[in-house]
Structures are given as structure tokens and as C-alpha cells.
Structure 1
């Protein structure tokens, strides 16, 4: 029997993503803080539709806004690991990455009473040791890579990559990779950035983005018997009025196409069951 899954995921970064880019003056920090407003709106929408999502929250955000994060937990949503700071692990020295990873796990334990089932890298850029750290801390899945569009797979570690040689594949692990895509992320579509390096225009028409996202799901239903798409939102991005309406239309449109809404933890469990493990 055909089954097609939609996962609604939320990177609850608030100001931490701006700070990690060196944008620490009052205006960008306030821009991130709008995420607290956006999160309330999103939680209300999800509750109205009876949907649980997966929320990835940096440790610094958990410690800054405990009440806002407690509301996410109270809504029954999954809390995933999203670093301590929002600095991508690929930019951290190994010891610093290990320390930040462990520190974020403890923040999540204090918030939820248990460690995270899954991890999502800030800015979706893993280091050579990131998968080892996930396994060491008991994570069952990662959601930072892009090797498929609508089917999880088991992540590898230890690939050897060189410009002038074939890729040497590493070991396949027991860590499930739940793939993501920049095309299914609200940030590159909607967020305007002006930096010394250039301009990211953002500010796309929300209905055009919605049409793309629904079309991706429709294509999956036509070409697979079982599959899943992961949509990624940032509350400070999609908490704006017209984008909230887009999220509502997306949820209702996916529902009309027969989508089953799962958290990423539920998805990786279902994937494992299908693999016989």
C-alpha cells in the first residue's frame, strides 16, 4: 500500500544564526528574536491541525528562552540537537566541536528529560568527526545531508575525497540519514542578506515557493510507493504573516494529497522497520 510522508521541521535559531555570521549589532539580533513571535504562531497552527513537528534548537537558544522552548515541548513536538552555538561543526576545531556537542545534549536533557534522537547541523555542514559524535551520544539519525530527495538511507563515515581521484567510500553506519534540501528550506527563498561578500536577494513570492513544494510532493507520490519529504522552516522567517498563510496552505494541500505527517524520529523508526531492523 502506498504511503507518502511529510515531515515539518523547524530550526529554532532565533539570534544564534546571526551571531555565528558575526552579525551582532542590535538590528540583526532583533531580527532573530522575531523567531519567538513566529514560534508562537507556528505552534498554534500545528495544534489546530493536530500535527507534531521536529524542532532543532541550539543550546544557547534553549538557555536564553527556556519558556519558549518549554512551549514547544508541551506541544508534543520532537526536540532535536542543533549544536550549542550555531557555528557549523565544519568550522570548529575537533575538541571544540566535541565540547559543544556534549554541552547541547545536556541542555536538551534538562529541557526534555532525555537525550536527542536526532541531530541537524547548523548550516548543514558536518565535519569529519560529526557522525562519530552523534553515534557516541546515542543519536539514531542525522538530518544534514542531501544524498536523496525522498528516501532515508544509512549514513557513511570516513569517505576519502580528493580533487584528482575517485571518491573512496567509507564505512556505512547504523545512523539513519534523513535527507534535506535547500530547495525545501524557507531560508534561501525568503531571507534577504546584505554582506560585504554580496547580496542574497531572498524575498521570493510565497505562492511560487508553495507551488514548488507541493509539486515535489506530487512527484514523489507518482514515482514512489513509500517516500518522505522534509520541509525546513525557521520561525523568524516563516513566522511572517504571508508565509504563515503559505504554511497553512502547504499543510492543507499535503493533506489533500494523502500525506502522513510524522516527526523525523518517527520517520527513521519506520524506515528501520522497513529495512527489517
Structure 2
């Protein structure tokens, strides 16, 4: 029987993503703080539709806004690992990456009473060490890579990559990769950035983006018997009024198309029941 899954995921970064880029003056900090307002709106909407979702929260945000994070858990949503700071692992030394990874695990454990099931790297940029840390700390899945659009797979580590040589594949792990895409992320579509001499325009028409996102789900329905799509949102982005209306339309349209809404942890469990390691 066909089964098509929609995962609603939220990177609750607030000000941490700006701080990781050196943007620590009052205006970018306040821009990130709006994420707490947006998170409340999102949780109200999800609650009204009876939908569980996955939230990825840096440790510094958990420690800054514990009440907001407690509300995520109280709503039955998944709390995932999103680093301690929002500095990408690829930009950290081995020692600092390991220290920050463990520190974030402890923040999640103190808040929720258990370690995270899944990991999502800040800015979706892993180091060659990251998957080892994910496995070492008992996570069951990662959601930072883009090797498929609608099928999970078992992540590899230890690939050897050079610009002037064929790719040498590393070992398959028991870590399920629940893939993501920038095209299904609200940030590049909507956020305006000006940094130095570079400008990222963003500010797209929400209905045009909605059309793309619905079309991706429709293509998955036509091309697969079992598939999943991960939509990624940032509360300080999607929480603006016209985008909240778009999110509401997305949820309701997907529901009419037969979407099953699951957390990413539920997806990785279902995937493991369908295949054995090494099959994909």
C-alpha cells in the first residue's frame, strides 16, 4: 500500500546562527530573538492539526530559552541535536568539535531526561569526524546530507575525495541518513542577508515557494510506493505572518494529498524495518 511521509522540521537557532557569523550587534541578535515568538505560533498551529514534528536546537539556545524548549517537548515533538554553538563542525578543531558535541548532548539530556535520537549539523556542513561522534553518542540518525530527495539511506564515512581522482567510497555505517535539501528549506527562499559586499536577496513570494514544495510531494507520490520529504523551517523565518499562512496552507494541502506526518526519528525507525544495513 502506498505510503508518503512529510516531515516538518524546525531549526530553532534564534540568535546563535548570527553569532556564529560574527553578527553580535543588537539588531541581528533581535532578529534571531523573533524566533521565540515564531516558535510559539508554530507550536500553536501544529497543536491545532495534531502534528508531531522534529526540532533541532543548539545547546546555547536550550540554555538561553529553557521554557520555550520545554514547550516543544510538552507538545510531543522531537528534540534533536544541533550542536552547542551554531558554528559548523567543518570549521571546528577536532578537540572543540568533540567538546561541543558532548556539551550539547548533556543540555538535551538535562532538559528531556534522555539523549537525542538524531543529529543535524549547523549549516549542514559535517567534518570528517562528525559521524563518528554521532555514533559514539548513541544517535540513530543524521539529517545533514543530500544524497537522495525522498529515500533515507545508510550513511558512509571515510570517503576519500580529491578534485583530480575518482571518489573512493568509505564504509557504510548503521546510521540512517534522513536527507534534506536547500530547496525545501525556508531560509534561502525568504531571508535577506547583507554581509560585507555580498547580498543574499531572499524575500521570495510565499505562494511561489509553496507551489514548489507541493510539486515535490506530488512527484514523490507519482514515482515511489514509499517515500518521505523533509521540510526545514527556522522559526524566525517562517514565523512571519504571511509565511505562517503559507505553512498552514502547506500542512492542509499535504493532508488532502494523503501525507502521513512523522518525526524524523519515526522515519528512521520505519526505514530500518523496511531494509537491512548495506542494502541502500
Answer yes or no: same fold by TM over 0.5. yes
How far apart are residue 197 of structure 1 and its match?
Answer: 4.2
Aligned to 2:75: 75
Residue in 1 that maps onto 2:26 = 26
1:128-277 map, 5 Å: 128-276=128-276
Name the residue aligned to 1:6: 6
User: 1:27-176, aligned counterparts within 5 Å?
Assistant: 27-176=27-176
Q: How far apart, CA to CA, are the structure 2 residues paired with 1:242 and 1:54? A: 22
Q: Secondary structure at the match of 1:248?
A: helix
The Cα of 1:199 is off from its aligned counterpart by 0.4
SS in 1 for 2:165: coil
* Matches of 1:200 and 1:19, distance apart in 2: 18
Instruction: Give how far 1:67 is off.
Output: 0.5
> Partners of 1:198 and 1:97 in 2: how far apart?
28
1:276 positional shift? 4.7
Aligned residues: 277
TM-score, normalising length: structure 1:
0.99
Aligned counterparts of 2:276 and 2:180: Cα–Cα separation in 1: 24
CA distance in structure 1 between the partners assigned to 2:176 and 2:134 by the alignment: 11
CA-atom RMSD in angstroms:
0.6
TM-score under structure 2 normalisation?
0.98
Moved segments of 4+, more than 4 Å: none
Segments of 5+ residues of structure 1 without an aligned counterpart are none
Residues of 1 paired with 2:86 and 2:187: CA distance? 15
Q: Deviations over 1:133-159 (max 9, x none)?
A: 000000000000000000000000000
In 2: Cα distance, 1:70 partner to 1:94 partner: 31
SS of 2:9's equivalent in the other structure is strand
How far the C-alpha of 1:35 sits from its partner, in A, is 0.2
Deviations 1:137-196 (A, max 9, x none): 000000000000000000000000011100000000000000000000000000000011
Stretches of structure 2 that go unaligned for 5 or more consecutive residues are: none
Secondary structure at 2:162's aligned position in 1? coil
In 2, Cα distance between the equivalents of 1:47 and 1:190? 25
Q: Which digits, 9 at most, give the CA deviation of each residue in 1:206-258, with x for residues without a partner?
A: 00000000000000000000000000000000000000000000000000100
SS in 1 for 2:87: coil
Alpha-carbon separation, structure 1, partners of 2:256 and 2:105: 37
